[in-house]
Amino acid sequence: MKYIEPHAHMVSRTTDDYERMALAGCEAVCEPAFWAGFDRSSADGFHDYFCQLTEHEPKRAAKFGLKHFCWLCINSKEAEDVTLAEEVIALIPEFLDRPNVLGIGEIGLNKNSRNELRVLERQIDLAARFNQLILVHTPHLEDKLKGTRLILDVIKNDGRIRPERVIIDHVEEHTVEMVLDGGLWAGMTLYPETKCTPARAIDMLETYGRERLWLNSACDWGVSDPLAVPKTAREMKKRGHPASAIEQVIFKNPKTFLRQAPNFKLGH
Amino acid sequence: MTKQQVLDLYFLDARHKLIELAAFLDRVDRATGKEDFRLPAFRAALTVLDGKKKNKATLVLRAFSDPTIVPIEKAVGKGATGAYSPPRSMRHADKSRPIPARDHSTSSKKNVP
């Protein structure tokens, strides 16, 4: 069954993963800018990373028949240093016209600090000024509830941002409702240890409906599974969900949100 | 799905996880040394499972969550521990049951993307 992987950090993955994703039916992979697992020492490191996301990685994906798109930003884990963040934010506009760029992301919060919040506001301003879609990372574990509340307040308070052009990612049972109630999209991340299991993600679909929800693997350099989305589709099938419902969640929903970005074209 | 279908699909998996959880608590009981703030949070979350409360997953997640709404002054480190440790000024007044503070140097913090 065809699907879109709307959140995957392919720079951390091998070509074997691209091949397995293509074999599983993946049509396109979308890669938000994120933390490399270490702090970059200067804005130049981000410049190189943005080149990797916009030049090199699409070519690597194309070898396996996959379309590759990306999001650009400075992530929240490196946002405590506001001076560095401002230098990185200043770099982003020169990349926004590149053909695989979808918007600004994954911005957000990590430990819910004042500096992280300041940098989040600046990147939301950047998105508003350049009319970009927004993909938001919500914090981990004990910090998620508070962080999601703070993020929703910032978005709500910026009158230029239309909620249907924002996806709040990594929602769980205690945050999904507030995101959907605000008119935003919600992403459920399928991780083996943290965030969501396939069973819990499907529970949320059954509880809140299939509108404005998508599934992603967020596969990266940590414990993660690039095939988490098709595996969850199989779990939906086991529960008796019809093929049309599965297709909506793993293909049509991400397509509906992402095609608000002019660059998002699947080519068929 | 019917209750029967849910049980057929998920009972053995849930049973397995429940036994793992019980074994974890036994392991902690057998271990030496002091516990930290995570264990009281874990035990508090467990109380949600008993009884007829709805939305148990939400309640468990909330039990582990930072309930405050004001941003912190500065991020110290990047990782999360899985349970909220209130600052010293907000801790329980009952001195007979102090909750050891979060040790920011601990290697138990999970650095995830």
The confidence score (pLDDT) of residue B90 equals: 66
pLDDT exceeds cutoff 80 at B99: no
Could you tell me the CA-to-CA distances from B62 to A100, A141, B47 in Å, in that order? 38, 10, 13
Contact criterion met (CB below 8 Å) for A72 and A101? yes
Sheet (strand A3-5) strand order: A3-5, A26-32, A67-72, A101-108, A133-137, A166-169, A185-189, A213-216
The confidence score (pLDDT) of residue A194 equals: 84
- Cross-strand bridge partners of residue A247: none
On chain A, the residues whose CB falls within 8 A of the CB of B72 are 111-114
Give tens-digit pLDDT for B34-92: 999 999 999 999 999 988 889 999 999 999 999 999 999 999 899 999 999 988 766 65
- Rounded Cα distance between A29 and A96, Å, is 18
Q: Which residue of A has its CA nearest to B10?
A: A199
pLDDT exceeds cutoff 90 at A195: no
SS (H, E, C) B59-79: HHHHHCCCCCCCCECCCCCCC
Shared domain check, B28 and B42: no
pLDDT exceeds cutoff 80 at A64: yes
On chain A, the residues whose CB falls within 8 A of the CB of B75 are 80, 110-111, 113, 115-116
Reduced to 3 states (helix: H, G, I; strand: E, B; else coil), residue A209 is coil
Q: Which residue of B has its CA nearest to A138?
A: B113
Model confidence at B105, pLDDT cuts 50, 70, 90, reads very low
- Its domain, for residue B15, covers 1-33
The confidence score (pLDDT) of residue A78 equals: 98
Query: How many residues appear in chain B?
Result: 113
Model confidence at B94, pLDDT cuts 50, 70, 90, reads very low
Model confidence at A216, pLDDT cuts 50, 70, 90, reads very high
Name the maximum alpha-carbon separation found in chain B: 51
Model confidence at B109, pLDDT cuts 50, 70, 90, reads low
Query: How many residues appear in chain A?
Result: 268
* Residue of A141, A199, A221 with shortest CB distance to B82: A141
Q: What end-to-end distance do the CA atoms of chain B give, in Å?
A: 35
- Rounded Cα distance between B86 and B102, Å, is 9
Instruction: Considering only residues A58 and B88, tell me which one the structure prediction assigns the higher pLDDT.
Output: A58
Domain membership flag for residue B55: yes
On chain A, the residues whose CB falls within 8 A of the CB of B74 are 80, 113-115
Shared domain check, B4 and B26: yes
Stated pTM of the model: 0.94
Shared domain check, B40 and B19: no
Domain membership flag for residue B85: no
Within its chain, how far is the Cα of A177 from the centroid? 18
Shared domain check, B50 and B27: no
Domain membership flag for residue B106: no
Model confidence at A138, pLDDT cuts 50, 70, 90, reads very high
Range A136-141 average pLDDT? 98
Domain membership flag for residue B9: yes
Shared domain check, B48 and B64: yes
On chain B, the residues whose CB falls within 8 A of the CB of A49 are none
Give tens-digit pLDDT for A154-180: 999 999 999 999 999 999 999 999 999
Domain membership flag for residue B22: yes
On chain B, the residues whose CB falls within 8 A of the CB of A188 are none
What ipTM score was computed for the predicted complex, to two decimals? 0.95
Single out the residue of A110, A113, A112, A109 nearest to residue A123, CA to CA. A109
Model confidence at A267, pLDDT cuts 50, 70, 90, reads confident
Shared domain check, B48 and B27: no
Domain membership flag for residue B107: no
The confidence score (pLDDT) of residue B101 equals: 44
Is B9 in contact with A114 (Cβ distance < 8 A)? no
Residue B79 C-alpha, separation from nearest chain A C-alpha, in angstroms: 8
Q: How many domains does chain B have?
A: 2
Single out the residue of B110, B71, B70, B61 nearest to residue A176, CA to CA. B61
Domain membership flag for residue B16: yes
Q: Which residue of B has its CA nearest to A173?
A: B58
Q: Which residue of B has its CA nearest to A218?
A: B113
Beta strands in chain A, from DSSP E residues, in sequence order = 3-5, 26-32, 67-72, 101-108, 133-137, 166-169, 185-189, 213-216
Domain membership flag for residue B90: no
Interface test with B, best of A34, A40, A115, A142 (most B CBs within 10 A): A142
Shared domain check, B51 and B39: yes
Q: Which residue of B has its CA nearest to A235?
A: B9
Contact criterion met (CB below 8 Å) for A8 and A219? yes
Contact criterion met (CB below 8 Å) for A67 and A26? no
Range A62-77 average pLDDT? 98
B36-65 burial, b at 16+ Cβ within 10 Å, e below that, comes to: bbbebbbeebeebeeeeeeeeebbbbbbbb
Is A194 in contact with B112 (Cβ distance < 8 A)? yes
Single out the residue of A238, A244, A250 nearest to residue A213, CA to CA. A250
Is A34 in contact with B113 (Cβ distance < 8 A)? yes
Give tens-digit pLDDT for A82-96: 999 999 999 999 999
Alpha helices in chain B (DSSP H): 3-30, 38-46, 56-63
Model confidence at B113, pLDDT cuts 50, 70, 90, reads confident
On chain B, the residues whose CB falls within 8 A of the CB of A220 are 113
Instruction: List the domains of chain A with CATH numbers.
Output: 3-258 (3.20.20.140)
The confidence score (pLDDT) of residue A227 equals: 98
Query: Which residues of B sit within 8 Å Cβ distance of A?
Result: 1, 5, 9-10, 55, 57-58, 61-62, 64-69, 71-84, 110-113
pLDDT exceeds cutoff 80 at A110: yes
pLDDT exceeds cutoff 90 at B106: no
Contact criterion met (CB below 8 Å) for A230 and A24? yes
Is A143 in contact with B83 (Cβ distance < 8 A)? no
Single out the residue of A155, A187, A182 nearest to residue A171, CA to CA. A187
The confidence score (pLDDT) of residue B52 equals: 85
